[in-house]
A and B are shown apart, each in its own frame.
Chain A
Amino acid sequence: MNILGIETSCDETGIAIYHPQHGLLAHQLHSQIDLHQQYGGVVPELASRDHIKHLSPLIQSTLEESKLTLKHLDGIAYTRGPGLIGSLLVGSSFAKALAYGLQIPSIGIHHMEGHLLAPMLEDNKPTFPFIALLVSGGHTQLVHVKKLGHYHILGESLDDAAGEAFDKISSLLSLPYPGGPQIEQLAKTGRFKQFIFPRPMIDRPGLDMSFSGLKTYVQNTVYDLLPHQRQNEQTRADIALAFEEAVTDTLTIKTKRALQQTGLKQLVLAGGVGANKRLRKKLNHLLQQEKGQLYCPKHEFCTDNGAMIAYAGYCRLARKQYDNSIDCEPLSRWPLNKLT
């Protein structure tokens, strides 16, 4: 069974082919970072324009890489949502037409389900049930994953996603988009405790989070600096480190609570912010304390990719848990706990 995965929910065109016995046969990615960098963030219309230009050639090269042809495909999995509606429409319309033309099933995948299943592509993989910490530019959620399609959201950010906060602080520090890797790089030369930023909502019960107030706190700190301090490389690095510390501490504290509350010992870390080394290190330490195990997808599958969509597509096709309607209805908003 060969499943083609198509991911176009934001600013990466990702294509992959997954086979249950042979694993990932091929995967390719076209990133739009260069396109959006000059605008300081993703421009939705430009993202859609770029997806439609690169989708077909990328599918062709993925097929070549896998040494398969279209007739070897058994299903087309595509990201149905959530995400930018224009970008989703490109991938969904293409996927539906391709599946119709080949007379094989099309499987609409929830983007975050793709992320939380991404560690299953690794040799060392978790088993159900587990806790997933999903952290990206659009989401920050702690999810109790009972089994495929059974997701209970334990807590989430009530305002900005953690990745969004990284992007905004990166912009504040005049670093290019996307902010995550830039802040991480700058923080390497930062000195601890030169600045102390709040760890939002840790004194409140529950697992919800908030990053908007932290972002404003950092902004005010920067605005209060004298111009020469603001431009000082060491000061900027100290701020980057203090911000990274605040975000990763908050996520770690909330994750610890989720593990203790549920009694689960397996944690999946996924989404773009999951690539952050400081976060991985802290969570690894936490799981050692809790006598559990941390599972992360490899770096390239933390950010958006077609492999996780192809894999999720296989899981749903094998269990016949998918909507095979002929028409295409992408969903820009789609709560994870609405899945079955």
Chain B
Amino acid sequence: MKTFIAIETTDSLCSVALLHQDNILTLQEQTHQKHNQKLMSLIHQILTESAVNAHAIDAIIFGKGPGSFTGARIAAATAQGLATAWQRPVIPVSSLEALAQQAVRSHQAKKIISAIDARMHEIYWAAFAYDEVTQHLTSLKPEILSSPHQLNHILSTDQWFGIGTGWNYHEQLPILPKTFDAQAKPLAQDMIQLAISSQYPLLEPHQALPTYIRNNIAQPKQQ
């Protein structure tokens, strides 16, 4: 039986989960842009309440984004620090995939488009299918950054379940998914579920790095 701790801070929730003896414990708080002020306390609280010794932890899972750049770095830096101290591997998990897992868990969704508001009238999004036999999510469309309008084509191809803050742009779309939940935020507990399914490799602490997708940050100076 594996013991995993998971941390997720790429949106407004500071979410921590612990897998121990096949049970998943969760703690979360609405911290907005102050995850750093709460994250270590929540980690300490979940370990204390579950009476799990840090040495029992097999790996540290963290939400690598896409989402808030700063939020993803808080999770990555914290995961690096814990993994270095405990000499354990890290498992970076995509926040879009965590949302898809949440759609499966909460809504029994089969075909899912996860979308996260990327600001500047753009969204990070990806599409997934859930196989009930293997109980795995498979990628149908890899993670990209685009305008919400680029969802039009894929929305016309199937009956989808939409999840994530990106669906707040729904008024701009001519076709909508069958159902969508624009309030959902990525959660640490779903990251644990994904990590159990072993789709993610175990990495060295220094490999705990965020995924940004948006990389066009600044314009070089004109001479």
- The interface stretch among B91-99, B156-164, B169-177, B203-211 is B203-211
A96 touches B80 (CB 8 A): no
A327 touches B36 (CB 8 A): yes
- The interface stretch among B81-89, B104-112, B146-154, B190-198 is B81-89
The verdict on A1 contacting chain B, using a C-beta distance below 8 Å, is no
Partner of B217, one of A45, A60, A92, A97: A45
B36 touches A329 (CB 8 A): yes
**What is the CB-to-nearest-CB distance from B96 to chain A, in angstroms, rounded to a whole number?**
20
**What is the CB-to-nearest-CB distance from B32 to chain A, in angstroms, rounded to a whole number?**
14
Mark B67-91 against chain A: 1 for CB-CB distance below 8 A, else 0: 0011001101111111011100000
**What is the CB-to-nearest-CB distance from B213 to chain A, in angstroms, rounded to a whole number?**
13
The verdict on A305 contacting chain B, using a C-beta distance below 8 Å, is no
B221 touches A102 (CB 8 A): no
- Residues on A with C-beta less than 8 A from B142 are none
B contacts with A, residue count (CB < 8 A): 35
The verdict on A43 contacting chain B, using a C-beta distance below 8 Å, is yes
The verdict on B37 contacting chain A, using a C-beta distance below 8 Å, is yes
The verdict on A288 contacting chain B, using a C-beta distance below 8 Å, is no
The verdict on B140 contacting chain A, using a C-beta distance below 8 Å, is no
A327 touches B38 (CB 8 A): yes
Partner of A101, one of B54, B69, B212: B54
Known contacts A327-B36, A328-B37: A90-B77 contact under CB 8 Å: yes
A96 touches B70 (CB 8 A): no
Bound form: Cα–Cα A329–B41 in Å? 12
Residue in A57, A91, A97 whose Cβ sees the most chain B Cβ within 10 Å = A97
Known contacts A45-B69, A328-B36: A93-B206 contact under CB 8 Å: no
Residue in B37, B79, B206, B217 whose Cβ sees the most chain A Cβ within 10 Å = B206
B73 touches A89 (CB 8 A): yes
A93 touches B36 (CB 8 A): yes
The verdict on B218 contacting chain A, using a C-beta distance below 8 Å, is yes
The verdict on A53 contacting chain B, using a C-beta distance below 8 Å, is yes
Known contacts A97-B85, A102-B85: A92-B36 contact under CB 8 Å: yes
A46 touches B81 (CB 8 A): no
Bound form: Cα–Cα A93–B205 in Å? 14
Bound form: Cα–Cα A55–B76 in Å? 11
Mark A62-73 against chain B: 1 for CB-CB distance below 8 A, else 0: 000000001000
* Residues in chain A within 8 A of chain B (CB atoms): 38-40, 43, 45-46, 48-49, 52-53, 55-57, 59-60, 70, 86, 89-102, 174, 326-330
What would be 5 A-B contacts, judged by CB atoms less than 8 Å apart? Answer: A70-B85, A86-B69, A94-B81, A98-B82, A329-B36
* Residues in chain B within 8 A of chain A (CB atoms): 36-41, 43-44, 54, 69-70, 73-74, 76-82, 84-86, 205-206, 208-210, 212, 217-221, 223
